Chains A and B, each alone.
Chain A
Amino acid sequence: MSNRSPCSNRGAELLSLLLLVSLLIGCAEQPDAVLRVGLSSAPATLDPRHATDAAAARLCRLLYASPVDFDAAFRPQPALMTWEMHAPEHYVFRLRGEAFFHDGTPIRAEDVAATYRSVLDPAQASPFRGALAHIISLEATSPKTLEVRLSRPDPLFPGLLTLGVLPARELEQARRTSAYTGSGGFRLAAEFNPQHVQLVRQVDGQRVDFLVVPNETTRALKVSRGELDLVQGGMSPELTAWLSRQPGITVRRVKGTVYTYLGFNLHSGPTRDLRVRQAIAHAIDRDALVRHAFKAQARLADGVLVPEHWAGVPDPERLRHDPARSRSLLSELGYGPADPLELTYKTSNDFFRRRIATILQDQLAAVGIRLEIRSHDWGTFFGDIRRGDFQVYALSWVGLQLPDIFRQAFHSASVPPTGANRGRYASAEMDALIEQAERAPDEAARAAGYRAVQRLLGRDLPYVSLWFEDIVVVQGARVVGYDTNLNGHYDGLLETRLALDEHRAAPH
């Protein structure tokens, strides 16, 4: 029998109740002032000289100020520096006003020179070195003036100075690090952790955390539960449609510049013949693909550059879906039901790319082309494409801003590893047009030259342009004032604020 008094029992009950209440209070979500952004993949580095993946490039933009930036029509605009072209091979850049690194030291022309010299240093093995290889000298003639001399005329050169500026003194120490003292609108709040990058906004101390959530379903669930405030891109149209139906979630679409195309091998195999490429082009129902696979979250592409680009084609000739024309071209070539054209299509293992491949396979089968799909991991797939070991493949160009893409992808001297002419397209007419556009005296003449290049591409079909994917922004109820642009940069975070009073974080 128990000899404990009723009083001690009541005491124990009271204590339990208190514990329970304190536990419940402890478990209740506290509103926090951190804005959380979901990423589909981790940034490899925060060193702008090596930032090639989209996440790293976008984060570097927040951390480091660059000498030059682009406007909405992709014209180079002064950012840290203005410039004068003394000759097509001689530029003088000048720092505008006072700008500082996050440790308070002023940014000098010598810092810009040191950054770009280190990009050109073969020991750095920067992937941007190739594009800047025509720089002969970078000389800081005063704390605010930088003189650049080139080995060949390049009227587009200022557009190449978009990498963030690093402090010369840190570069001189020659220590390898994944992040340097920054100069942008944000600074690192903690040591660089690729899975969880913590930034602080310079002007008001607003914390912004970038969390890597590779699975898109998990990312969508985290946004719907308030564990993430913002996700930009990397989500299937079906999931964004689902998210738009969730309470407190806003989904917005912005026209993007990610250009997806079908590439052909022009060096060997049946795709060498223009009529085969034309038959494939006319067999593809791009409207149906955009309507169903993208839920209209993409727009048809009829050129490499978006129509808004200063060198883009505003009213391009549209590639028509014409299965009858495809069949007639194939029969001209001797292909028919008894002897169909058989092609191999290489793609990555990415689910969405395989889905597109399956639809293309079905559309081509309707005109009598048998497409065998081979999906590989990214490394194997891209290696095959660079080697020219393919017949047909699909890829995307991300972050196209300068028309130098035409030299890189279509000039006969740009076959990998020198450039990105992966289909081994060789046309004297194309080479001449590209060189002519590069030598044009002013922007209007250059734009006309590049439009002629794009018209020839539409005729020769080394690529079949498919679409430009939209940038889809999914944001929770706490996010106020976020906006993005054609390139999908996170610049909008400079203005974004959290509506902490109206909404609680992670309310479920």
Chain B
Amino acid sequence: MLRQWYVGVLCVWLVLACIAPWCMESGNRITLENAFAPPTAGAWLGTDDLGRSILLRTVAGAAVSAPLAAGVVLVSLCVGTLLGALGAWRGGLLDACLQRIIELFQAFPGLLLAIALAGILGPGTGNVALALCLVGWVGFARLARAQVASLRSREHVLVARALGTPDRRILSNHILPLLVAPLLVEATFAFAATLAAEAGMSFLGLGAQPPTAAWGSMLREATQFLLVAPHMLLGPGLAILSLVMAMQSAGERLRLHWQLPR
């Protein structure tokens, strides 16, 4: 049972993400007189530098980080899979061009590229999501391309081609179903990585703008008061740690279940 702790964590965060929109307003309420209050029975995680409840802001942060990460992964998955599969299936110039583009993106650290893009686009969650999508599709495209390149020479695909089945149908009926497992595993890992990247960008001030609660910006605020109010680190720190670890464990579990190579 303990081995599947991550299921419990993910369920808890799912519920919290659903109730998060109702915590936003109260989490943004400033009470300067209550600044830096330590954790008490009334305020479990204490208050921040502006007297706002850290617990409420941590929950409210789930409404920013989780949907953003899910959205980025979904868009990256669709775009990357489409491009990778198309390149591998068609081959030739299209595939060569796609490969060069993938290499170009991979030659530069993804997070740094996303930070540079978000810096150019300006601060805000929308621009962070866009920047992460622009670098996120590469992993999926690479995986899809490798999988399709290997699957296209399988016997059932060769038979389908010999029978004159249209490409679209071969891809949708005979290849894509076989891609689901590795892509799903990749998506869980990508979700964890996107979550961490979004937190990093919010930490740098590129993500959600005040007063919106985002775990990265909450961490940044907490580091400013490390010596004065270390309790400020707990909420956002545990949120990022638990969700990233749970998604990583879920991905690893799925990988083992489907017996996929690392």
**Which residues of A approach B to under 8 Å, CB–CB?**
216-217, 220-221, 236, 238-239, 241-242, 288, 291-293, 349, 351, 354-355, 357-359, 361-362, 372-377, 380
Contacts and interface: CB of A to CB of B under 8 A. Distances in A.
Contacts of B223: 217
Contact of A358 (B30, B33, B122): B30
Nearest to B51: A292
A242 B227 contact: yes
Interface footprint category on B: 20 to 34
Contacts of B226: 217
Given A221-B227, A238-B49, A239-B228, A377 B32 contact: no
B85 to A, nearest CB: 39
Contact of A375 (B35, B36, B209, B229): B209
A376 B211 contact: no
Given A351-B221, A362-B30, A373-B209, A238 B50 contact: no
A394 to B, nearest CB: 13
Contacts of A216: 224
Contacts of A357: 210
Contacts of B225: 236, 238
Contacts of B205: 349, 354, 375
29 contacts: A217-B223, A217-B224, A217-B226, A236-B225, A238-B36, A238-B225, A238-B228, A238-B229, A241-B228, A291-B32, A292-B32, A292-B35, A293-B32, A349-B204, A351-B221, A354-B205, A358-B211, A361-B210, A361-B211, A362-B28, A362-B50, A362-B211, A372-B209, A373-B209, A374-B209, A375-B123, A375-B210, A376-B122, A376-B123
A43 B251 CA distance: 49
Contacts of A362: 28, 30, 50, 211
Contacts of A376: 122-123
Given A372-B209, A374-B209, A358 B50 contact: yes
Interface in B8-57: 28, 30, 32-33, 35-36, 49-50
A293 B48 CA distance: 12
Contacts, number: 64
Given A292-B32, A374-B122, A220 B227 contact: yes
A380 B122 CA distance: 9
Contacts of A239: 227-228
Contact of A288 (B32, B209, B227, B229): B32
Given A359-B50, A362-B30, A351 B224 contact: yes
Contacts of B209: 372-375
Contacts of A238: 36, 49, 225, 228-229
A3 to B, nearest CB: 54
Interface string B183-201: 0000000000000000000
B237 interface: no
A374 B121 CA distance: 12
Contacts of A375: 123, 205, 209-210
Contacts of A354: 205, 210
Residue among A351, A372, A377 having the largest count of chain B Cβ atoms under 10 Å: A351
A25 to B, nearest CB: 32
Interface of B: 28, 30, 32-33, 35-36, 49-50, 119, 122-123, 204-205, 209-211, 220-221, 223-229
Contacts of B211: 358, 361-362, 373
Contacts of A373: 209-211
Given A238-B36, A373-B209, 18 more contacts: A217-B223, A236-B224, A239-B227, A242-B228, A288-B32, A291-B32, A293-B32, A351-B220, A351-B221, A359-B50, A361-B211, A362-B211, A372-B209, A373-B210, A375-B123, A375-B209, A375-B210, A376-B123
A453 B221 CA distance: 40
Contacts of B119: 377
Contacts of A349: 204-205
B30 to A, nearest CB: 4
Contacts of B30: 358-359, 362
A376 to B, nearest CB: 7
A238 B228 CA distance: 7
Nearest to A289: B32
B110 to A, nearest CB: 21
7 nearest CB pairs, A to B: A292-B32, A358-B210, A349-B205, A362-B30, A238-B228, A373-B210, A373-B209
Contacts of B220: 351
Nearest to A363: B30
B32 A359 contact: yes
A85 to B, nearest CB: 50
Contacts of A236: 224-225
Contacts of B33: 292
Nearest to A372: B209
Nearest to A347: B210
B137 to A, nearest CB: 27
A216 B204 CA distance: 16
A362 B50 CA distance: 11
A215 to B, nearest CB: 9
Contacts of A221: 227
Contacts of B229: 238
A444 to B, nearest CB: 43
Residue among A242, A355, A362 having the largest count of chain B Cβ atoms under 10 Å: A362
B122 to A, nearest CB: 7
Residue among B32, B36, B223 having the largest count of chain A Cβ atoms under 10 Å: B32
A216 B123 CA distance: 24
A271 to B, nearest CB: 20
A289 to B, nearest CB: 9
A368 to B, nearest CB: 16
Contacts of A380: 122
A292 B220 CA distance: 20
Contacts of B204: 349
Contacts of A242: 227-228
Nearest to A243: B227
A341 B122 CA distance: 23
Contacts of B224: 216-217, 236, 351
